[in-house]
Amino acid sequence: MHLPWRARSSRLSAGTTASRRGLAIGAVTALLGGGAGLLATQPAQAAVACRVDYVISSSWPGGFNASVTINNLGDAINGWRLTWSFDAGQQITQMWNATNSQSGSSVTATNVSYNGSIPSGGNTNFGFNGSYNGSNPVPASFSLNGVACTGNPGTPSATPSSTPTQSPSSTPSQSPSQSPSASPSPSPSVTPTGTCPLPSSYRWTSSGALAQPKSGWVSLKDFTNVVYNGKHLVYATTHDNGSSWGSMGFSTFTNWSDMASATQTKMNSGTVAPTLFYFAPKNVWVLAYQWGGTAFSYRTSSDPTNPNGWSAQQTLSTASISGSGTGPIDQTLIGDGQNMYLFFAGDNGKIWGRYFRSFTADSLSGSWTPNAATESNPFAGKANSGATWTNDISHGDLVRNNPDQTKTVDPCNLQLLYQGRSPSSDGVDYGLLPYRPGLLTLQR
């Protein structure tokens, strides 16, 4: 979920994708393609206990998209290998956030460079496209590093000496376009059975301000975040004491309480209202933003931790919107198994407010239904945030362990990184409003 950077409500798109654990939140339309895998390391000896959530997110005649979440119930893991068997001849055709090998019915998925570490109590996610003929049952069992995922501790198998072979995949040559291509109509194949359905009324607790802007800036806002190598990675918009907008990146940090001491690095290029994600089919990190050469632009990198290591600007969209002096703003991107979708807002007063609204759909191209969409019953706002330091709960990003384009999150453990400000700053010029990062945690 990625919401506008001004204090307003959003046409927030909170689309469930038939997931036991996953809620894909996002906001129409660049199509990218390809596929690649990265090298993985194998674990040190540790007590292993795990649970695997295997979700068929969408399916069409002869094909399907699946999401797999590894929940670590044992000691911290540094390098993982998940194995299972297909019972009906299914074949993996493309995998992201892991490398894969398949021999007959036996499948092995191994971590890539940025998600090999899973802390105790944490999780990681990968996904794949597959083919089937006839039935498509969920695998009966999984093993993590040689130990069956039953929830009981076990002992890992010996570290293998060979590196998995990268799985071939088709790599379309096209770059982002402004309209999606035709795709199969996703239809849920698995009914959500998790213990955490989305509530119709949300209640949160809030941190205080997590960080202060470094000297020369009055505001930190428009946050986007992923988990990279087991640590939080955050980019944001800045504003100085005058009239200039800019952008920055934090150094990675382990706990949200560490954000205050994380290094704040000014970006040489302005990427205002950034959206950060790993585009798995192309094996590349993407930073999308507004106010570039066109309505929305993007840059790519192999190292998202370097705020000044991004590529030259590329066109994402030339979209327009009526009645907005700033043009279209506050983009967010999210992908399914076939397309990328771009959602954005306008600075035209249509969605102003100081709270988040949520909507759900069976697919990103489907019809959206209000979930919690009023000021008195918002997804997140003054009415339910629990925050005492701010009345504004605006432009932010749901926290997710999976950094890829699907933006899948766990509804059992929802957290929202948002921007807030002291109510005493009411009436100040918008650019000079002292926004700071805060964190909401859903109460169950």
Q: Which of 91-105, 149-163, 226-240 has the lowest mean pLDDT?
A: 149-163
In tens, the pLDDT along 383-426 reads 999 999 999 999 999 999 889 999 988 888 899 999 999 999 99
For residue 230, tell me if it sits in a domain. yes
Q: 179 pLDDT band (50/70/90 cuts)? A: very low
For residue 182, tell me if it sits in a domain. no
CA atoms within 13 A on the CB side of 24: 30
Residue with tokens 């290029």, as numbered in its chain: 269
CATH for 120: 2.60.40.290
**Residue 205 and residue 240 share a domain:** yes
**Residue 76 and residue 23 share a domain:** no
Query: What integer pLDDT is reported at residue 315 of this predicted model?
Result: 96
**Residue 300 and residue 231 share a domain:** yes
- The mean pLDDT of 250-269, rounded to a whole number, is 96
Q: Which of 37-41, 149-153, 355-359 has the lowest mean pLDDT?
A: 37-41
In the chain, the amino acid numbered 326 is: T
Query: What integer pLDDT is reported at residue 88 of this predicted model?
Result: 93
Q: What is the CA radius of gyration of the chain?
A: 21
Query: What integer pLDDT is reported at residue 195 of this predicted model?
Result: 57
Q: 46 pLDDT band (50/70/90 cuts)? A: low
In the beta sheet, which residues pair with residue 227? 232
What is the value of pTM for the model shown? Answer: 0.64
Q: Does residue 7 register a pLDDT over 70?
A: no
In tens, the pLDDT along 341-356 reads 999 988 877 766 689 9
CA 31 – CA 74 distance, rounded (Å): 39
Q: What is the domain range of residue 316? A: 14-32+195-442
Q: Does residue 181 register a pLDDT over 60?
A: no
**Residue 284 and residue 239 share a domain:** yes
**Residue 119 and residue 27 share a domain:** no
In tens, the pLDDT along 111-123 reads 988 899 999 999 9
For residue 187, tell me if it sits in a domain. no
Query: What integer pLDDT is reported at residue 192 of this predicted model?
Result: 35
CA 118 – CA 99 distance, rounded (Å): 17
Q: Mean pLDDT of all residues in the chain?
A: 81
Query: What integer pLDDT is reported at residue 152 of this predicted model?
Result: 67
**Residue 435 and residue 375 share a domain:** yes
Q: Does residue 32 register a pLDDT over 70?
A: no
Tell me which of 112 and 191 has the higher pLDDT: 112
Question: CB under 8 Å to 164, separation ≥6 — which residues?
Answer: 37, 40, 99, 100, 101, 108, 110
CATH for 347: 2.115.10.20
Query: What integer pLDDT is reported at residue 410 of this predicted model?
Result: 83
CB neighbours of residue 246 within 10 Å: 18
- The mean pLDDT of 364-390, rounded to a whole number, is 95
Structurally, the chain folds into a number of domains equal to 2
